[in-house]
Amino acid sequence: MGDISISNAHHAVAAQRKSCWYEEEIEENLRWCFALKRAELERREEVYDVIIGDLADPIEGGPCYQLYTKSFYEFVVKPSLTQGGIFVTQAGPAGIFSHTEVFSCIYNTLRQVFKYVVPYSAHIPSYADTWDGSWYHHSPFTLTADELDLRIKHRIQGENRYLDGKTFTSSSTLSKAVRKSLDNETHVYTEGNARFIYGHGSAYKQQQHYKSTGNVALIQEK
């Protein structure tokens, strides 16, 4: 166990969280590992087939923004992957008006380190927006929806409620506006010039607007 300091280039927060490394043998040839701290991954010499960055958003004063930087991808994640390994990370909001907050620069940063990077998105109702992720693979992704369905059928019992081959392939089909932003993005995410997400989802913002204008009672009555 160890401590993780919650700070960034602009602010230092007087708080600490305990870090940990947890492992569990799920089945033969399948081991699940959980790390709460960057250093936990840095100090290990073993490599992994899949690394998933299920992170909090990069917010000013938060603990996770350094896990979106070029140095983290280049010197921690990439050396920790097997030859055919896959890295997946969430990358913030991906809506028409929100995707340039952090998603476009995180995607561009990944492209500086990895050869094949695939952006994807899905609508998150609780966030009232489309949210994005990106994943790296050692070769171009060429599986069709039917091939994905067949692999899912062979690997799980029962039926997925959400994910199938068509859903998976369609998630990486982004709108023209978002694709254009990704192609034109030049910002590289580093510790010294990090971008942060500010505010909340659009539903929360709208609610705050109604409260400030005295219309909240009208909403409740409706």
Is residue 65, in this structure, part of any structural domain at all? yes
Looking at residue 186, which CATH number applies to its domain? 3.40.50.150
39-56 pLDDT tens trace:
778 888 888 899 999 888
Is residue 20, in this structure, part of any structural domain at all? no
Please give the model's pTM, rounded to 2 decimal places.
0.74
Is residue 1, in this structure, part of any structural domain at all? no
Mean pLDDT across the stretch 189-208? Answer: 67
76-133 pLDDT tens trace:
999 999 988 999 999 989 999 999 999 999 999 999 999 999 999 988 888 778 887 8
pLDDT for the residue numbered 221: 35
* Cα distance between residue 218 and residue 207, in whole Å: 12
Is residue 74, in this structure, part of any structural domain at all? yes
pLDDT for the residue numbered 42: 84
Q: Number of structural domains, the chain?
A: 1
Residue 5 has pLDDT above 70, yes or no: no
Residue whose pair of structure tokens reads 């039917």 in the numeric block: 146
Mean pLDDT across the stretch 71-77? Answer: 94
Residue 2 has pLDDT above 70, yes or no: no
For 211, the domain range is 46-221
Is residue 159, in this structure, part of any structural domain at all? yes
* Cα distance between residue 195 and residue 218, in whole Å: 37
Q: Which residue has the higher pLDDT, 48 or 219?
A: 48
Is residue 38, in this structure, part of any structural domain at all? no
Residue 214 has pLDDT above 70, yes or no: no
Q: Which residue has the higher pLDDT, 35 or 207?
A: 35
C-alpha distance from residue 69 to each of 124, 164, 176, 193 (Å): 24, 31, 26, 10
Mention every residue, 6+ apart, whose C-beta is less than 8 A from residue 116: 136, 137, 138, 139, 140, 141
Query: Catalytic site residues?
Result: 54
* Cα distance between residue 7 and residue 11, in whole Å: 6
pLDDT for the residue numbered 220: 39
Is residue 214, in this structure, part of any structural domain at all? yes
131-170 pLDDT tens trace:
878 887 777 888 999 999 999 999 888 999 999 999 999 9
Is residue 16, in this structure, part of any structural domain at all? no
